[in-house]
Amino acid sequence: MSKYESEISRRRTFAIISHPDAGKTTLTEKFLLYGGAIAQAGVVKGKKNSRAATSDWMEIEKQRGISVTSSVMQFQYEGFCINILDTPGHQDFSEDTYRTLMAADSAVMVIDAAKGVEAQTRKLFKVCAMRDIPIFTFINKMDREARDSFELLEELEKELGIETYPVNWPIGCGKDFKGVYDRDSRKIIHFTSNGGAKAATATEVELGDPNLDDLITPQLHQQLTDEIELLDGAAAEFDLDRVRHGKLSPVFFGSALTNFGVEPFLEHFLRMTTAPLPRTAGDTLIDSLDDNFSAFVFKIQANMNKAHRDRIAFMRIVSGKFEADKEVYHVQGGKKIRLSRPQQLMAAEREIIEEAYAGDIIGVFDPGIFSIGDTLCAPGKKFKFDPIPTFAPEHFRRVRSLDTMKRKQFLKGMEQIAQEGAIQIFKTPYSGMEEVIVGVVGTLQFDVLEYRLKNEYNVDLYMEGLPYEYLRWIETEDGEPVKEEDLILGDGVKLVEDYKGNQLLLFATQWAINWTDERNKQLTLLEFGGGWQR
């Protein structure tokens, strides 16, 4: 195997997804600790805690103790080169999360052992299912009182429509959480805390060990024996092929806070996941081992460094090797460019790099030429990766600058933040951009918009709530734009355009969508933008 092939085969790129407060950021930090990427984890608490998590870099994140934007981190572990996409768990930041999943080859879903499957987890899971990507489940917070483990598995299967395979099984919970039973080796991994250092102290013990009663108590020993018997009789068979097609989710139990079960999970996960996966570009499949460089933009983040007013485009490398100052072809821009100052990131910390391989995520300086979904490839090649879907916002407000003299800053700020994909902006056809309609997936994104316009552009906003809850992209039979007078629209429906000129309809109710669909047969209403069908 050549150095090039071996570099690609050792790479793993995955996203961590969860409902808020399930412990996702803590788990991410423990991975970084095991990989030696950081020396001390910042426990994610509220704003009173001075040590914010490594992966939370924006000021508003540190104040609120939540992840607002997706972070990208790379670390090495036992010969693997791992790219983690740490996504925002807060329900109000899910559009960024959805898109980040497009750059991952697999997903780790973190579930709170006391709460089980929550609303946001269902939405995120839908996106994973859409992409057919493997999902690994880590049931976290076993160091607290937890629900019955069988009940949790049943809920996972019922709510998400995916079969589960427990790779390990918890021994007790809360103060009595003693460790996990590994079903493959049929050994007990007993954990003892060592004061939050890099790893919990783990002792492997055979199931038939005579000292087991002393180690985990006779009651827990008996309970474990009964549960193993039940598991072996009732659980699904392990099938790696079904795991890799998102049909079977391997389940692990542990506690990210105390490090119990984190390393066994990481080791199993790396064995089960694949090297970077191929991507489709129309009818062509672009393989990761293809020598020719190719990548796509899945995220744009402006003003990561406020002093420099910079803008970073995050790219997932699909094939080939990237080298600094190498000339590439920007398909949507129709020209050759050199990617300046390529960086790899540890949240807000950056490191200039000379090379990167398929599976890696790199950030490049963007002078304003990139959009989400853009393809870059080797000169002489001209293909476009399949588009990244645009997800329909669920909350809408009319927004304008309080100071009419700051119109220029207002428009620039709105457009930049919209290009990042954090918000979507719309206008009424044939109207100017004095005021815009902003659509977001969740209401807290309005707070982020207001905060960023004030801090980065010195613009104060006036916002007015609108009664719409649904948005549909319009497609016509002849591909021509529609005129409002040619449409039959009832109350609670509004025709708007996005800043790329696409036409859309806003609806107050699901009933209004059905009513409009029935009376305008010349239209197709689409749930996803960007070329995705409903």
> What percent of the chain shows pLDDT beyond 70?
84
Give the residue, 56 or 85, on which the prediction is more confident.
Answer: 85
Within this chain, do residues 209 and 306 fall inside the same structural domain, yes or no? no
C-alpha 243/C-alpha 108 separation (Å) is 12
233-285 residue pLDDT tens = 887 889 999 999 999 999 999 998 888 888 889 999 999 999 999 999 999 99
Q: Are strands 343-346 and 294-302 parallel, antiparallel or unpaired?
A: unpaired
C-alpha 23/C-alpha 43 separation (Å) is 10
Number of Cβ within a 10 Å radius of residue 190: 21
The pLDDT value given to residue 508: 94
The pLDDT value given to residue 43: 34
Are 111 and 18 in contact by the 8 Å Cβ rule? The answer is yes
50-84 residue pLDDT tens = 444 544 445 555 554 444 344 678 888 999 999 88
Starting at the earlier edge strand, list the strands of the sheet with 179-182.
Answer: 168-171, 179-182, 187-192, 201-206
C-alpha 470/C-alpha 489 separation (Å) is 15
10-39 residue pLDDT tens = 999 999 888 777 777 788 888 878 777 654
C-alpha 89/C-alpha 124 separation (Å) is 10
Within this chain, do residues 414 and 521 fall inside the same structural domain, yes or no? yes
Q: Is residue 135 part of a domain?
A: yes
* C-alpha dist (Å) from residue 60 to 261, 417, 444: 32, 15, 11
Q: What is the CATH number of the domain that holds 491?
A: 3.30.70.3280
Given a cut of 70, is residue 200 above it in pLDDT? Answer: no
Helices 94-101 & 119-131 angle (0-180, nearest 10): 30
Within this chain, do residues 266 and 302 fall inside the same structural domain, yes or no? no
Give the residue, 36 or 486, on which the prediction is more confident.
Answer: 486
> What percent of the chain shows pLDDT beyond 90?
41
Q: Is residue 1 part of a domain?
A: no
The residue from 275, 291, 312 where one domain ends is 275
The residue from 275, 306, 332 where one domain ends is 275
* Binding site as annotated, residues for GTP: 18-25, 86-90, 140-143
* Binding site as annotated, residues: 18-25, 86-90, 140-143
Within this chain, do residues 401 and 466 fall inside the same structural domain, yes or no? yes
Reported as half-sphere exposure (CB side, CA atoms, 13 A), residue 440 has a value of 24
Domain count within the chain: 3
Bridge partners of 18?
Answer: 110
* Residue 430 CB partners (closer than 8 Å, separation 6+): none
For the chain, the distance separating the N- and C-terminal CA atoms, rounded to the nearest angstrom, is 43
Q: Is residue 511 part of a domain?
A: yes
Instruction: Kindly tell me the sign of the dihedral angle through the C-alpha atoms of 373, 378, 379, 382.
Output: negative
Q: Is residue 387 part of a domain?
A: no
Given a cut of 60, is residue 349 above it in pLDDT? Answer: no
Q: What is the CATH number of the domain that holds 334?
A: 2.40.30.10
Q: Is residue 453 part of a domain?
A: yes
Within this chain, do residues 284 and 271 fall inside the same structural domain, yes or no? no
Within this chain, do residues 295 and 362 fall inside the same structural domain, yes or no? yes
Domain that holds residue 482: 395-526
Q: Is residue 18 part of a domain?
A: yes
Within this chain, do residues 93 and 204 fall inside the same structural domain, yes or no? yes
Across the range 205-222, mean pLDDT stands at: 87
Q: Is residue 534 part of a domain?
A: no
Of the listed ranges 127-136, 199-208, 456-465, the one predicted with least confidence = 199-208
277-309 residue pLDDT tens = 999 999 999 999 999 999 999 888 765 555 545
Within this chain, do residues 349 and 230 fall inside the same structural domain, yes or no? no
Q: Is residue 386 part of a domain?
A: no
Within this chain, do residues 299 and 345 fall inside the same structural domain, yes or no? yes
Number of Cβ within a 10 Å radius of residue 472: 22
Within this chain, do residues 177 and 230 fall inside the same structural domain, yes or no? yes
Within this chain, do residues 156 and 29 fall inside the same structural domain, yes or no? yes
Within this chain, do residues 262 and 322 fall inside the same structural domain, yes or no? no
What average pLDDT does the chain have? 83
Across the range 367-378, mean pLDDT stands at: 90
* C-alpha dist (Å) from residue 99 to 127, 465, 527: 9, 26, 15
Reported as half-sphere exposure (CB side, CA atoms, 13 A), residue 34 has a value of 24
The residue from 227, 246, 275 where one domain ends is 275
